[in-house]
Structure 1
Amino acid sequence: MDDQRSGFTYPAESSFGRSRVEISTAQLLGQVMFLVAVALGFAVLGTFLGRELEVGAARICSFAGFGMLLVSSFGGERFRVGPLAMGWLFATALLIGLGLGPVIGYFAEVDPAPLTQAAGATALVVAGTGSLGFALSKDLKSWMRPLSFLVFGLVIVSLLLMLAGGGGNPLISIAIGAVSALLIVVDFNYLRKHGTEDDAVMLATGIFVSIVNIFLALLNIFGNR
């Protein structure tokens, strides 16, 4: 089966230059994780609806989701703050899920064990990296942009290889997952030290995409054993 497990990138810009809405860390964490949970729900819905898609249609959905992530990165404040930004995140998650539908459907039908293992391991990685980022006293804000550009570069390389017919390179997939895990550390560190209510959608987008990337990397590992 043609491998669609390439990974995604996401906006790494915070709300610089805007009036920042103050909020307690606990409230912000609750908002961010609620948005992440809803986005994951849309992604799961997408995988269910897209499990019968042809590979070409799934790729179009994946590229559309990737494009929407780029728009949220460079399209300005309206794509990172407010109701439009939330709707944009959920629509992006749905498209990403549709793009992954055939792959997830294949594993669910042929060999569901890697799906269960990847999901469980992803939960452990996210819990560990999120806790680490929250606990670290060092300010990691300066890491956010370089790591985001690194993920972006790896995703572009992976997409080019896929378009060239080379399928998904497992080493690139693992690298994307590893950098995404580091980004979760940075995101939770930023949330505790600098986050405001205006950053909720931006942080939720970053955490959601990192979770997807980690899951895909682990699925690649468990699925190829």
Structure 2
Amino acid sequence: MTNGISTYGAGKLAGDASLLSTHRVLRNTYALLGVTLLFSAVVASLSTALALPSPGLLLTLGGFFGLFFLTAKLANSGWGLVSVFALTGFMGYTLGPIINRTLALQDGGMIVAMALGGTAVIFFSLSAWVLATKRDFSFMGGFLMVGMIVALLAGLGAAFFQVPGLALAVSAAVVLLMAGMILYETSNIIHGGETNYIMATVSLYVSIYNLFTSLLALLGIGGGEE
């Protein structure tokens, strides 16, 4: 009887420790995400105001993947935080030329505002739903990975071969994929699948970035009509 009580007590303590760890990862993730989004927005604003040139597709991909893998390597050290800000700052810089192109369209300011609002609504709604229901979306991992690879290849094809219709189709697909990524990553955090708040932050930041730029592309379809 005593052994049974001891086992129950040990199990309860382990469960409480796991719950506290999950809450800590979730809290740290959202705190770091908020700061990096603010930092990225400041860099994007400066890039937009100064009309800085676009780094180009290849440099953007190289910079993103290089800094992403560097962050993953340093995620368990203090340098991981430095790498996160380097990554989000670089991505903020790449937003400047994209926003300027959109602002040049008819009603460009409204398009940017709608994309920002849509991104915020989608992110907070999906995150709140997962946190409230505790639904497990781990089953989506394989599908999302394949979908992102296909979308990346299709997007590169649309850029190199100048196929506007394909580019818009990719943007629509990316909106759905990033919504799925927000569900997946939030679920992953609360169910203990992701225990590193730096990598969780990067995953959610990338989802928000891609969601915003894809909404800009979709909402700007009619923006070029004078």
**TM, length-normalised to structure 2:** 0.76
Which sections of structure 1, spanning at least 5 residues, go unmatched?
Answer: 1-20
Q: Which runs of 4+ in 1 moved over 4 A?
A: none
1:79 to 74, 77, 80: 74
Query: Does 1:187 pair with 2:182?
Result: no
- What CA distance in whole angstroms lies between the structure 1 residues aligned with 2:139 and 2:91? 28
> What's the offset of the Cα at 1:25?
3.7
Q: Secondary structure at the match of 2:162?
A: coil
Query: Does 1:199 pair with 2:192?
Result: no
Match of 2:150 in 1: 153
- What CA distance in whole angstroms lies between the structure 2 residues aligned with 1:136 and 1:148? 24
Q: Tell me which of the two structures has the higher relative contact order, counting C-alpha pairs closer than 8 angstroms and 6 or more residues apart.
A: 1
Computing the radius of gyration over CA atoms, which structure comes out larger, 1 or 2? 2
Q: Secondary structure at the match of 1:203?
A: helix
1:187 maps to a residue whose letter is E
Identity among equivalent pairs (%): 20
- What CA distance in whole angstroms lies between the structure 2 residues aligned with 1:34 and 1:54? 31
> What's the offset of the Cα at 1:160?
3.3
Match of 2:102 in 1: 107
Match of 2:53 in 1: 54
> What's the offset of the Cα at 1:109?
5.3
> What's the offset of the Cα at 1:92?
1.3
Q: Secondary structure at the match of 1:50?
A: helix
Tell whether the 8 Å contact from 2:47 to 2:93 is kept in structure 1 after alignment. Answer: yes
- What CA distance in whole angstroms lies between the structure 2 residues aligned with 1:201 and 1:144? 19
Tell whether the 8 Å contact from 2:111 to 2:216 is kept in structure 1 after alignment. Answer: yes
Tell whether the 8 Å contact from 1:130 to 1:185 is kept in structure 2 after alignment. Answer: yes
**TM, length-normalised to structure 1:** 0.76
Which sections of structure 2, spanning at least 5 residues, go unmatched?
Answer: 1-16
Tell whether the 8 Å contact from 1:133 to 1:189 is kept in structure 2 after alignment. Answer: yes
Once superposed, what is the RMSD of the aligned Cα atoms? Answer: 2.6
Match of 2:162 in 1: 165
1:222 maps to a residue whose letter is L
Query: Does 1:93 pair with 2:94?
Result: no
Alpha carbons of 1:68 and 1:83: their partners in 2 closer, same or farther (altered >3 Å)?
A: same
- What CA distance in whole angstroms lies between the structure 1 residues aligned with 2:146 and 2:91? 20
Alpha carbons of 1:149 and 1:201: their partners in 2 closer, same or farther (altered >3 Å)?
A: farther
- What CA distance in whole angstroms lies between the structure 1 residues aligned with 2:174 and 2:81? 25
Match of 1:121 in 2: 118
> What's the offset of the Cα at 1:42?
3.0
Alpha carbons of 1:45 and 1:145: their partners in 2 closer, same or farther (altered >3 Å)?
A: farther
> What's the offset of the Cα at 1:183?
1.0
Match of 1:66 in 2: 64
> What's the offset of the Cα at 1:60?
5.0
1:185 maps to a residue whose letter is L
Alpha carbons of 1:24 and 1:85: their partners in 2 closer, same or farther (altered >3 Å)?
A: same
- What CA distance in whole angstroms lies between the structure 2 residues aligned with 1:89 and 1:120? 24
- What CA distance in whole angstroms lies between the structure 2 residues aligned with 1:146 and 1:79? 27
Considering fraction of residues, name the structure with more helix.
2
- What CA distance in whole angstroms lies between the structure 2 residues aligned with 1:80 and 1:194? 17
Query: Does 1:174 pair with 2:186?
Result: no
> What's the offset of the Cα at 1:155?
1.9
Superimposed CA distance per residue, residues 105-137 of structure 1 (whole angstroms, 9 cap, x where no aligned partner): 233455200111111111110011112222344
Give the length in aligned residue pairs. 200
